[in-house]
Amino acid sequence: METLAHHVETLLRTVAADVVMPRYRNLASHEVIEKAADELVTIADREAEERLHEGLAALLPEAGIVGEEACAADPALAEQAGIGLKWLVDPIDGTANFAAGKPPFGLMIALLDGGVVQESWMLDPLSGRLCHAALGQGATINGDPVKARESGAALPIAGLSLLFVDPQERDAVKARAAGKLEMADIPRCAAEQYPRVVLGVNDLAVFQRTLPWDHAPGALFVNEAGGRVARPDGSAYVIGATPGRGLLAAASPAMWEKAAAILYG
């Protein structure tokens, strides 16, 4: 009997092959729109979300669906993400990269119940890498179990996503990290940055803006792989809970504590 996870993976791979990849490096100028400052959307984002919405609705009719592009059109939809059974959909994470014709980018889905992530999927359509996690059941890559590992570098390798931090705080974070963390380039794609924490490429990642479709899939993946993702104060990332800013992801609980002491005192 085929599982829900298998059906979602098949849906993701089909939409990637049929909708996303044919548009990669093949977008006309009118097919890329700036929906907000430093925020792009393409025709592929919208068409992929429509296809994913249709497929997920058929798989689990009792679950609501909250998609990134639907929320861009109607921001009130995002408030429903933490209520009841919901699918979260990011049709193309890393749209700026996709629109520029460069990697990385990915398709992401999470299934939530009462704001708690139950299962998640992140597909890199260029490599075919499928990261999957289920609450209490561990994490896999292309079906093989995976455990988070640290890089082993002399200084912890940190991907600090500070795009949405005001300049004064950005400078303060960099000052606290100086000499204690090795700064890594960020991919501007959560579907890539969270796997880097698990795969030993980065020891930690910091995010300031934590929209649920960007972070719910990766947070579960890192946690289920044995790493830790939490708010700067150590509290869990729960969708629809009291709004918070920032997330710290690390390859192990010990690395999380070490990084939190450096970055947040």
4, 10, 16, 18: CA torsion to nearest 10: -130
pTM for this model (two decimals):
0.95
Q: Which amino acid is at 55?
A: G
Q: Would you mind telling me the total number of residues written for the chain in this entry?
A: 265
Q: Are 77 and 71 in contact (CB under 8 A)?
A: yes
The pLDDT tens digits for 93-105 are: 999 999 999 999 9
Q: What is the CATH number of the domain that holds 181?
A: 3.40.190.80
- Of 91, 114, 145, which closes a domain? 145
Sign of CA dihedral 161, 258, 129, 6: negative
Rounded Cα distance between 21 and 42, Å, is 13
Q: Provide the pLDDT for residue 243.
A: 59
Which among 73-82, 160-169, 251-260 has the top mean pLDDT? 251-260
Same-domain check for residues 94 and 135: yes
Nearest Cα to Cα of residue 243 among 217, 194, 210: 210
The pLDDT tens digits for 244-256 are: 679 999 999 999 9
Same-domain check for residues 182 and 130: no
Same-domain check for residues 140 and 18: yes
- Of 93, 119, 145, which closes a domain? 145
pLDDT grade for 169, boundaries at 50, 70 and 90: confident
Q: Are 52 and 44 in contact (CB under 8 A)?
A: no
Q: Are 89 and 65 in contact (CB under 8 A)?
A: yes
Give the residues across from 12 on adjacent strands.
none
Q: For residue 122, give the H/E element and its range.
A: strand 116-123
Q: Provide the pLDDT for residue 164.
A: 67
Alpha helices (H) along 114-158: none
Q: Provide the pLDDT for residue 1.
A: 55
Domain holding 166, by residue range, is 157-264
pLDDT grade for 241, boundaries at 50, 70 and 90: low
